[in-house]
């Protein structure tokens, strides 16, 4: 069908977004592709869309070839040594230890994510301590304004888990190669939304990990209330030192500090 290449373009656009280590580069990389992007039919649930469209691409990506070459190139360029420290938790802060009222819905600890596979052994939201403290400020600011606060979809993503993602989807268009790393693997990125006082997610126009133009922060063909909710999230996060990216309303990176990639795995009981 004619729409297939366009949908594929959408997937490519959002591919590395959450995983991209340099949001500004991500923006640059995708500039120009907008001209070929079309909004997918919204009457298809994102889950169905992911299943129907990603599957053949994943299958294709598992063939050796260009993808392996890309991975080799990334490994050759990787110059930052990973943080192997298993002294561990001093380098990271569980946000729920700072404020237990922050909600967790860590999708990679379930099969409810775009890979349809459980990637993390157990859920946790760890961040570099400064980022965690900043996040709690946002949470409390929102509570002070009558909201329930934040719900976290993803936080620190250890490189071994990034490797699992890569093993599942070995395609640099979809997953950042582990050797390249991502802000998530540096403990300095979050995927999140805002909830109301009943714990219900505010309407952000699309679900988390929706692959398409409607998830872009510069997409304005949305109800005023949705745009207001997105602006609220962006404003609160920026005030705490985070910066968003154009292609995913839910992704923010902490901009205060440089952090190395880490292999630290949080314990599971
Ligand atoms: Zn992300």
How far does Cα 240 stand from its chain's mean position?
A: 18
Better-scored residue on pLDDT, 118 or 269: 118
Please check whether residue 263 lies inside any domain of the structure: no
Q: What is the mean pLDDT of residues 101-126?
A: 96
Better-scored residue on pLDDT, 216 or 39: 216
- Bridge partners, 94 (sequence order): 126
Alpha carbon separation from 88 to 85, 125, 223, 265 (Å, rounded): 6, 14, 44, 8
How much is the pLDDT for 42? 27
Q: Which helix (H) or strand (E) holds 195?
A: strand 189-195
184 Cα to the center of ligand 1, angstroms: 7
The pLDDT-based confidence of 251 (bands split at 50, 70, 90) is very high
Q: What is the residue range of 153's domain?
A: 90-254
Q: In this structure, are strands 126-127 and 149-154 parallel, antiparallel, or unpaired?
A: unpaired
- Is residue 69 scored above 60 in pLDDT? no
Length of the chain: 269
When the pLDDT of each residue in the chain is averaged and rounded to a whole number, the result is 76
CATH at residue 244 = 3.30.1380.10
2 Cα to the center of ligand 1, angstroms: 30
Q: The pTM is what?
A: 0.72
1 Cα to the center of ligand 1, angstroms: 31
Please check whether residue 6 lies inside any domain of the structure: no
Stretch among 47-56, 82-91, 127-136, 239-248 having the lowest mean pLDDT: 47-56
Q: In this structure, are strands 126-127 and 93-94 parallel, antiparallel, or unpaired?
A: antiparallel
The total number of structural domains in the chain stands at: 1
Which residues are known catalytic residues? 248
How much is the pLDDT for 242? 98
**Pair 235, 229: CB distance under 8 Å:** no
- Is residue 101 scored above 70 in pLDDT? yes
Please check whether residue 249 lies inside any domain of the structure: yes
Q: In this structure, are strands 103-104 and 149-154 parallel, antiparallel, or unpaired?
A: parallel
């Amino acid at each position: 069908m004619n729409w297939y290449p366009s949908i594929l373009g959408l997937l490519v656009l959002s591919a590395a977004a959450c995983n991209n280590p340099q949001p500004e580069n991500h923006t640059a990389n995708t500039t120009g592709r907008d001209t070929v992007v079309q909004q997918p039919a919204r009457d298809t649930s994102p889950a169905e869309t992911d299943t129907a469209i990603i599957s053949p691409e994943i299958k294709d990506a598992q063939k050796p070839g260009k993808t392996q070459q890309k991975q080799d190139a990334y490994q050759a360029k990787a110059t930052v040594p990973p943080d192997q420290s298993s002294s561990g938790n001093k380098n990271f802060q569980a946000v729920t230890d700072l404020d237990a009222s922050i909600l967790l819905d860590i999708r990679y600890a379930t099969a409810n994510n775009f890979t349809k596979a459980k990637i993390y052994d157990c859920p946790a939201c760890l961040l570099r301590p400064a980022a965690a403290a900043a996040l709690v400020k946002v949470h409390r600011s929102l509570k002070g304004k009558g909201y329930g606060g934040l719900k976290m979809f993803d936080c620190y993503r250890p490189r071994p888990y990034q490797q699992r993602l890569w093993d599942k989807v070995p395609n640099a268009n979809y997953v950042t190669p582990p050797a390249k790393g991502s802000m998530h693997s540096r403990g300095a990125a979050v995927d999140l939304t805002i909830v109301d006082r009943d714990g219900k997610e505010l309407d952000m126009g699309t679900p988390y990990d929706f692959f398409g133009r409607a998830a872009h922060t510069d997409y304005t063909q949305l109800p005023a209330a949705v745009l207001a909710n997105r602006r609220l999230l962006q404003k609160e996060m920026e005030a705490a030192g985070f910066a968003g990216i154009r292609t995913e309303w839910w992704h923010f990176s902490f901009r205060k500090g440089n952090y190395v990639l880490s292999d630290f795995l949080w314990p599971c009981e």
